[in-house]
Amino acid sequence: MIEFHTPQAVHVSADTSISDYLIRYGTERPASIMFRQKVGETWQDWSAARALGVVRGIAQGLRAAGYGPGDRIAIMSRTRLEWTLADFAIWHIGGIPVPIYESSSPSQAQWILFDSGAVAAFVETAALAAIVEEARAEDDGHSARDVWVIDDGAFETLAAQGASLGDATADDAVAAVGLSDLATIIYTSGTTGRPKGVELSHGNFVELCEEVVNLMPEIFLEPDASTLLFLPLAHVFARVVEVVMVIGKIPMGHTPDARQAVADISVFKPTVFLSVPRVWEKIYNSAELKQGKGLKRSIFRRAAKISVSYSRSLEAPGGPSALLKVQHAIADRLVYSKLRELLGGQLHWTISGGAPLGERLGNFYQGIGLHMLEGYGLTETTAPTHINLPKKTKIGTVGPPLPGTTIRIAEDGEILAKGIGVFRAYHNNPAATAEALEGGWFHTGDVGHMDEDGYLAITGRQKELIVTAGGKNVAPAQLEDPLRTHPLISQAVVIGDNQPFIAALITLDAEVLPRWLETHDRPLLTVEQAAVDPFVRDHLQMAIDRANRKASRAESIREFRVLTEDFTTANDMLTPSFKYKRHEVLRNYGDVIDSIYGSSHPQE
């Protein structure tokens, strides 16, 4: 076994909670900008004093309504400032927020409300309130006795109800909460089976976030630093961002729609932006398609190649050659500077997590002048166990373990973790807890390898490993991730377990398709028409050929099918955190899979 430990660098008093940082921020730096809220088309500043005052008001209202320490209160909303305010208000009374994706069905919401023991809920809209009410009906009304609708003035109503308690009692409950106390129960996205409730403590958040702030002063001490959050706050990645920005005192904005994120970035002008690989892929693909056809497109593609080469050369002895430096400078004036301006012009730090980014995409962004720091973690590790460092980044890895974290690579390649971010239990599920924390190590289910500096490379999911009929082990992510970088491809699922060869199921990006066809001088097609169009299929085959270059013949994709329906949360084939549910895809498209392996096909 291979093991690597990074010692803890920051030590926090045991009586500290997340709420302490908000109180400190609001009282010691009251005029500092804590949040920026989009109102119409402008961004309005919220001071730390105002944020603390609103949180205290909501908290007092919750106490007046009879809620207090230990109470589970659900939040069901898109990503917006009000979610963060509700989170901190619940923490302020010693309560436990329970996030629910706004895309959840009544049955999914019912399970989370029931299993967590939620006694109340904040929801964004009346429509979401109806879902919670339906879930309560399924549960015989035992959960969420109060449902507050944010859009209907819930915060103002609660603040008015709690006004009689007085300011003197505003922070009473905070004093009793420490690192060991439960901070939240986050339910896994459920790529397989029923979601499990991951219990995370205040210590998990506080100690991990303190280490991140201490580890990366370049990000947190940058003048006029700010970030824009669009990730779903029901996901652990966004919750950690929410907390680390308060601890690191960086102003934060919220945007509820991933499709609006790039437009909001250009106006908000963040210095650091955290996202998932799918968004970085879409930004790149959209930028390329905007060039149209002809010379501009050729220049962009050439510049992209130069960017990747330049980034790779930074790690080589001697660095980039004189010729490459000249080419890079020209490409910067023609292409890179425009792309940076599209992203606000102030963006210096980009952090990717949630899924593998891919070496080429990472080098592209680093090559255009953005510091791309890829990280890794799971809900059970309070998001990051690893992140690349500003002073030492290795593209293609997720960096070394964060301070306070120990990583072990088991003999079968599985990544095991111990440390300050590792969860304490699955809620109401001791059997699953014992299995996941076997031997005191959290078994991530991911497979990877470490170098001598502890930098980790992820190669796939243990349970998703494909074993062909010929006995060849294939990690599907190694083929799927490169395919998704093609503009036309929305999702790619590699199949072939117990089959004679590897194949792929591909979905098309319906938003990109019209622009892609236009740039290739092709007539407009529907997704259904494009799925069988020879020209489109030829280009998909080229993408597959590129992905196959790093694979042996036994590991390479030999056939593919284009599906006419994309994977979405609505059809239950995509999680709200943008991961597809492999088992659902295989179940729903069994007939398509049979058509691949039931017809004549190449043999090994």
Encoded tokens for 10 = 């920051």
CA distance 14 to 199: 18
Q: What mean pLDDT do residues 422-432 have?
A: 96
CATH fold of 17-177+223-271:
Rossmann fold (3.40.50)
Segment (H or E) for 54: helix 48-64
- Please tell me the total number of residues recorded for the chain in this structure: 604
pLDDT of residue 577: 67
What's the sign of the alpha-carbon dihedral 121, 127, 130, 134?
Answer: negative
CA distance 266 to 256: 16
Q: How confident is the model at residue 189 (pLDDT cuts 50, 70, 90)?
A: low
The boundaries of every CATH 3.30.300.30 domain in the chain are: 465-598
Whether this model's pTM surpasses 0.85 = yes
Q: What mean pLDDT do residues 97-113 have?
A: 91
pLDDT of residue 459: 85
**What's the mean per-residue pLDDT of the chain?**
92
pLDDT of residue 384: 96
pLDDT at 604 over 60: no
With b for 16 or more beta-carbon neighbours within 10 A and e for fewer, the 399-411 pattern comes to bbbbbbbbbbbee
CA distances in angstroms from 469 to 206, 277, 473, 505, listed in the order given: 48, 32, 10, 19
pLDDT of residue 81: 98
Q: What mean pLDDT do residues 80-90 have?
A: 98
130-183: pLDDT as tens digits: 999 888 877 766 667 899 999 999 999 999 999 988 777 889 999 999 999 999
Q: What mean pLDDT do residues 218-245 have?
A: 95
Ranges 45-49, 186-190, 420-424: which has the least confidence = 186-190
Segment (H or E) for 515: helix 513-519
Which residue has better confidence, 258 or 331? Answer: 331
The fourth-level CATH superfamily of domain 465-598 is ANL, C-terminal domain (3.30.300.30)
The boundaries of every CATH 3.40.50.12780 domain in the chain are: 17-177+223-271, 277-345+348-462
pLDDT of residue 466: 87
Q: What percent of the chain has pLDDT over 70?
A: 97
Segment (H or E) for 459: strand 456-461
With b for 16 or more beta-carbon neighbours within 10 A and e for fewer, the 153-186 pattern comes to ebbeebbebbeebeeeebbebbeebbbebbbbbb
Give me the amino acid identity at 592: V
pLDDT of residue 192: 52
CA distance 508 to 173: 51
Q: What percent of the chain has pLDDT over 90?
A: 73
Which 3-state string (H, E, C) describes 302-364?
HHHHHHHHHHHHCCCCCCCCHHHHHHHHHHHHHHHHHHHHHCCCCCCEEEECCCCCCHHHHHH
pLDDT of residue 602: 41
pLDDT of residue 601: 42
Q: What mean pLDDT do residues 283-298 have?
A: 86
Q: What is the DSSP-derived secondary structure letter of residue 402?
A: P
CA distances in angstroms from 169 to 48, 173, 312, listed in the order given: 20, 8, 57
Query: For the domain with range 277-345+348-462, which CATH number is right: 3.40.50.720, 3.40.50.1100, 3.60.15.10, 3.40.50.12780?
Result: 3.40.50.12780
pLDDT of residue 297: 87
Q: What mean pLDDT do residues 342-350 have?
A: 94
Q: What mean pLDDT do residues 253-272 have?
A: 90
DSSP secondary structure string for all residues of 553-601: GGGSEEEEEEESS---TTTTSB-TTS-B-HHHHHHHTHHHHHHHHHS--
450-498: pLDDT as tens digits: 999 999 999 888 777 788 887 788 888 888 888 988 989 999 999 998 8
By the 8 A CB rule, do 430 and 22 touch? Answer: no
Cβ-based neighbours of 281, under 8 Å, separated by 6 or more:
361, 484, 485
pLDDT at 190 over 60: no
By the 8 A CB rule, do 135 and 159 touch? Answer: no
CA distances in angstroms from 323 to 29, 298, 319, listed in the order given: 50, 20, 12
pLDDT at 575 over 90: no
